[in-house]
Amino acid sequence: MSEKLWGGRFSKTTDEMINEFQASIQFDRRMYREDIAGSIAHAAMLAQVGILSEEDRAAIEKGLRDILAQIERGDFAFSVELEDIHMNIEKRLTDAIGEAGSRLHTARSRNDQVALDTHMFVRHAVVDVLDRIRELQHALVESATANKEVIMPGYTHLQRAQPILFAHHLMAYFGMLVRDFERFQGVYARTDIMPLGAGALAGTTLPIDRSFVAKRLNFERIYTNSLDAVSDRDYILEFLSAASILMVHLSRLSEEIILWCSREFSFVELDDAHCTGSSMMPQKKNPDVSELVRGKTGRVVGHLMAMLTAVKGLPLAYNKDLQEDKEGLFDTIDTVKFSLAVYAQLIRGMKVRADVMRHAVEADFSNATDLADYLVRKGMPFRQAHSVSGQAVALCIERGIWLADLPLADYQKLSALFAEDIYEAIRPETCVAYRNSYGGTSYEQAEMQLDAACDLMAEEQSCIAVLTQKQEIL
């Protein structure tokens, strides 16, 4: 059994089962780049203030970069006995370069070290998520542009309500993703705070320069309270919250696509490459991607709830409970990134069945509101117009016809305001075109939304480029 890096106070070695129970190396090994980058910056700072010799600093940096290369080649054997990524790397470094390696941990604790690594890891993850949000936005805009003349039923209560443009429907999800993008920008801003230098909880007696490290690691701010720096995980909670909201948006889109590609709707057809079949029923084409995203949403929301529960009763400062912050975080990052990536592919491969959507609009009474609005434009109060329109619908249901089929004479029995132009007023194209209020479903408004989306995505790309450059820490 290897000697613990903290074993001076202990007379017994740790039980093997306890080693395994408390070890985090199985999952926190993912933070090796962040750990090495933080250690290189820390060593440079120690040399800058005269705590570490330049010779030792150079040996530490070379040793750490050698370890980085070993890990990335797959030549690094991680040890459960050494618990975590920090102690695994430090032990290998000390074995490689001797006494200089044992000086690296001067003026820091694993408490502020793990906080630093996690802050950097989340920053990087946020940038990846932002990039994938923008890619899905692109896919939605591409599909909306290609199908911007397509009319479909809009729904409330899953009942056909009013005709809308298919592009308008897709751009609703674009708007949700815009806010998701903004939320993750906020996560980045509140993650971009440097905790190193807080020590275990109270700072250090040594003359460190935290600003030096923050600048080397591209942090915008520094924690002003050492207790806060090592004990809170609100940035992880915020990431999980933003991720949960994003996944809920994708889940809602999934639910609609699952409905749309069913035989009952047949509004869209998914590409064969994005579906599976049945082992028994040869006719089946299953929307597995959408179903999985809908299912994985529950998992992501669960990680948020687990973290909220873990943190809610913790006294200051560090407690081992906080080790539970990583598995759920890492799984959420992987799930969100993968879900966004596959959805961009799915949307791009999706075929829109305009004829089926058009029939669904025509074979219904979703133009009843437009009939009422027609009477309003001719001077009738809306409540009265609503009643007349309802009477027209009832008459059509009785006869088994639609509003477009009702003779003008019957319309005029309901109101003298009806004229031949009623048939033009309730055409699906007219219903859509007249809804030209800002943010409405008209052709003009849809075009404005698409133009604005392109401008916004260009701004988002610039933001991603800036943040990507900030991740260059090695």
The pLDDT > 90 percentage for the chain reads: 88
244 counts as catalytic: no
Q: Would you tell me the crossing angle of helices 368-377 and 382-399 to the nearest 10 degrees?
A: 140
Number of Cβ within a 10 Å radius of residue 170: 24
Query: How far apart (Å, rounded) are the C-alpha atoms in residues 21 and 430?
Result: 67
Q: Structural domain boundaries of the chain? A: 7-106, 111-148+165-206+223-352+449-470, 368-426
Residue range 91-117, pLDDT digits in tens: 999 999 999 999 999 999 999 999 999
- The token duo for 420 is 């031949």
Q: According to the model, what pLDDT value does residue 5 have? A: 54
Residue range 189-203, pLDDT digits in tens: 999 999 999 999 999
**Mean pLDDT computed over 133-146:** 98
Q: According to the model, what pLDDT value does residue 1 have? A: 42
Residue range 234-258, pLDDT digits in tens: 999 999 999 999 999 999 999 999 9
Residue range 275-311, pLDDT digits in tens: 777 667 767 688 899 999 999 999 999 999 999 999 9
- 7-106: CATH number: 1.10.275.10
- Given 2, 53, 262, 278, which residue is catalytic? 278
Query: How far apart (Å, rounded) are the C-alpha atoms in residues 86 and 37?
Result: 12
Query: How far apart (Å, rounded) are the C-alpha atoms in residues 51 and 242?
Result: 41
366 counts as catalytic: no
Of 28-32, 154-158, 321-325, the one with minimum mean pLDDT is 321-325
- Token look-up 């203030």 returns 49
Q: According to the model, what pLDDT value does residue 396 have? A: 97
- Give the strand pairing for 193-194 and 221-222: parallel
Query: How far apart (Å, rounded) are the C-alpha atoms in residues 421 and 427?
Result: 10
pTM: 0.93
Q: Is the pLDDT of residue 232 over 60?
A: yes
Higher pLDDT, 374 or 23: 374
Q: According to the model, what pLDDT value does residue 274 have? A: 81
- 368-426: CATH number: 1.10.40.30
- Given 157, 249, 290, 462, which residue is catalytic? 157
Query: How far apart (Å, rounded) are the C-alpha atoms in residues 42 and 24?
Result: 23
Mean pLDDT of the chain: 94
* Top CATH class, 111-148+165-206+223-352+449-470: mainly alpha
Residue range 302-354, pLDDT digits in tens: 999 999 999 999 999 988 888 889 999 999 999 999 999 999 999 999 999 99
Closest CA to 228 of 185, 187, 197: 197
